[in-house]
Amino acid sequence: MTTLPEGARAPRFACLTRAERFIAGSRFERPTLVIDTEAVAARYRALAAGLGRAAIHYAVKANPHPAILARLAAEGCRFDAASRAEIESCIAAGARGADISFGNTIKRPADIAFAHAAGVRLFAADAEEEIDKIAAHAPGASVYIRLAVASSEADWPLSRKFGCAPETALALLDRARALGLEPAGLSFHVGSQTRAPSMWRPVLDQVAAVWAAARAAGHDLRLLNIGGGFPAAYDSAVPAPRTYAEGVMAQVDARFPDAREIMAEPGRGLVAEAGAIGAEVLLVARKSPMDLHRWVYLDIGRFSGLAECEGEAIRYPILTEKDGEATGPCILAGPSCDSADVLYERRPVMLPLSLAAGDRVIIRNAGAYTSTYASVGFNGFPPLEVVAI
Ligand SMILES: *Cc1c(COP(=O)(O)O)cnc(C)c1O
């Protein structure tokens, strides 16, 4: 990476964030994610202000870059980890074991034992075998039961693979107690990129019914974990983080006045808008003289960081140095030799007609679910480079 020399042609990108300005002022040899840790901290404070009494456990999988974890730890943020490696990263960044929850419902027994020894006290489960594993390898720990919730309106739903039905949840709380664990509470995930607080309503209603049933069955639950789902701005505007969090918490407080402890696990909502990817156009092609759409091939694709373009679910805004000129519809694709490596085709992207090989582009709000989703070397393309500023 080099920085443009003083007096070099001024970049023509308009209205840039700090990370984007950094990209505009640099030359990268390959696609590079630039993360602004100051923007992550600002976002943390905005979400924390809106979430009030709810503690934030950053969902580390969204972006485990050490500079992000260290910055959040310094802000007093807690962490939700999914594996031993993520727990180790949090501790290396300054977190204490007691500030880390082990939220993956599918854990390796050795990882449970490691977490327990490292001081992690809070574990998620949604199945009998998992409760048994936790009781065996983290005796006396606290567990929360993850519920499966229906009717998510999220752009990236997480529902079917995780969670259990209400009657199973009650049985799991009983089993945890019988095995000497603390049945602390319930958790759910409303679905990632849930664009409006109103979309939480049916999900919170389902969870409140299970909460009430558990208390009626004699479990003095203390902890409600409301998971993630806090959105980032992609192709449609979303409420500001503080406003959004306040909208969610008003609904939570109305339904769970007796929850003594509330935690939230934002991932995307904390880091997506703090990052942007500098990339390059490798080829612009028309497949035939009749072709309505140009094909624009970038040097980054689904296997090198843009995995969430799967199903065209997440639509990143794309800036070019020719923005402001006349545009036309493009099919956007990655550089690899796999025909699945198409980013947007069903809904083409409008890009400048003059766009050509060698032009630089900025992929906006790409700080979440990009760097660690990149393959190790498909077609010889290296994983996404990351620079923290
Ligand atoms: C992925 C995940 C999150 C973060 O979700 P976002 O939608 O990115 O906020 C939170 N909690 C759990 C258990 C997760 O698996």
Q: What is the pLDDT, as a whole number, of residue 52? A: 97
308 within ligand 1 shell (Cβ under 6 A): no
Task: Answer yes or no: do 226 and 87 share one domain.
Answer: yes
Same domain, 241 and 384: no
At residue 10 the predicted structure's pLDDT band, cuts being 50, 70 and 90, is very low
If pLDDT is split at 50, 70 and 90, which confidence band does 2 have?
low
Is 80 a pocket residue for ligand 1 (Cβ < 6 Å)?
Answer: yes
Best residue among 265, 268, 273, 365 to mutate for probing ligand 1, ranked by most atoms within 8 Å of CB: 265
Residue range of the domain that includes 135? 37-272
Among candidate residues 238, 185, 242, the one with its CA nearest the CA of residue 56: 242
- Asked if 14 and 66 sit in the same domain, the reply is no
Please indicate, yes or no, whether residues 213 and 302 belong to a single structural domain of this protein: no
The first and second tokens of residue 381, run together, are 């393309």
55-85: pLDDT as tens digits: 999 999 999 999 999 999 999 999 999 999 9
Which atom of ligand 1 approaches the CA of 269 most closely?
Answer: 9
Q: pTM (2 decimals)? A: 0.93
Q: How would residue 289 be classed by pLDDT, with cut points 50, 70 and 90?
A: confident
Quick one: 71 and 82 in the same domain?
yes
Q: Which of 107, 100, 102, 108 shows the shortest CA–CA distance to 77?
A: 100
Ligand 1 centroid to Cα of residue 267, in Å, is 6
Are 95 and 23 in the same domain? Answer: no
265 touches ligand 1 (CB under 6 Å): yes
pLDDT band at residue 290 using 50, 70 and 90 as cut-offs: confident
Distance 156 CA to ligand 1 centre (A): 11
pLDDT of amino acid 150: 79
For residues 316 and 255, membership in a common domain is answered with no
Which residue's C-alpha comes closest to atom 11 of ligand 1? 227
Last residue in a domain, options 243, 272, 301: 272
Closest ligand 1 atom to the C-alpha of 230? 9
Q: Which of 111-115, 154-158, 288-292 has the lowest mean pLDDT?
A: 154-158
Residue 291: the pLDDT is 82
Here the CATH number for the domain that contains residue 12 is 2.40.37.10
User: Mean per-residue pLDDT for 256-285?
Assistant: 97
CA dist 224 → 145, 161, 183 (Å): 10, 20, 12
**Residue 14 confidence class, pLDDT cut points 50, 70, 90:** low
CATH, residue 228: 3.20.20.10
Q: What is the pLDDT of residue 105?
A: 96
pLDDT band (50, 70, 90) for residue 370? very high
Nearest residue (CA) to ligand 1, atom 3: 228
Could you read off the pLDDT of 221-260 as tens digits, one per residue? Answer: 999 999 999 999 998 899 999 999 999 999 999 999 999 9
Residues 139 and 30 in one domain: no
Find the mean pLDDT for residues 141-158: 81
Domain limit, last residue, from 272, 295, 317:
272
Q: What is the 3-state secondary structure (H, E, C) of the chain?
A: CEECCCCCCCCCCCCCCHHHHHHHCEECCCCEEEECHHHHHHHHHHHHHHHCCCEEEEEHHHCCCHHHHHHHHHHCCEEEECCHHHHHHHHHCCCCHHHEEECCCCCCHHHHHHHHHCCCCEEEECCHHHHHHHHHHCCCCEEEEEECCCCCCCCECCCCCCCECHHHHHHHHHHHHHCCCEEEEEECCCCECCCCHHHHHHHHHHHHHHHHHHHHCCCCCCEEECCCCCCCCCCCCCCCHHHHHHHHHHHHHHHCCCCCEEEECCCHHHHHHHEEEEEEEEEEECCCCCCCCEEEEECCCCCCCCHHHHHHCCCCCEEECCECECEEEEEEECCCCCCCCEEEEEEEEEEECCCCCCCEEEECCCCCCCHHHCCCCHHHCCCCEEEEC
Percent over 90 (pLDDT), the chain: 88
Q: Is the CB of 231 under 6 A from ligand 1?
A: no
Which domain-ending residue is among 250, 272, 294?
A: 272
Q: Which atom of ligand 1 is nearest to the CA of 368?
A: 8
Q: Kindly give the number of the ligand 1 atom that is closest to the alpha carbon of 193.
A: 7
For residue 189, pLDDT over 70 is answered with: yes
Model confidence at 156, pLDDT cuts 50, 70, 90, reads low
Q: By alpha-carbon position, which residue is closest to atom 5 of ligand 1?
A: 228
CB of residue 229 inside a 6 A radius of ligand 1:
yes
pLDDT in tens, 119-148: 999 999 999 999 999 999 999 999 999 999
The total domain count for the chain is: 2
Q: Do 251 and 326 share a structural domain?
A: no
Instruction: State the pLDDT at residue 157.
Output: 62
Residues belonging to the active site? 337
Any ligand 1 atom below 6 A from CB of 62: yes
Residues 31 and 45 grouped into a single domain: no
Average pLDDT over all residues of the chain: 93
Residue 7 binned pLDDT confidence (cut-offs 50, 70, 90): very low
150 and 131 in a common domain: yes
Q: Are residues 86 and 152 in the same domain?
A: yes
- What is the per-residue pLDDT for 8? 46
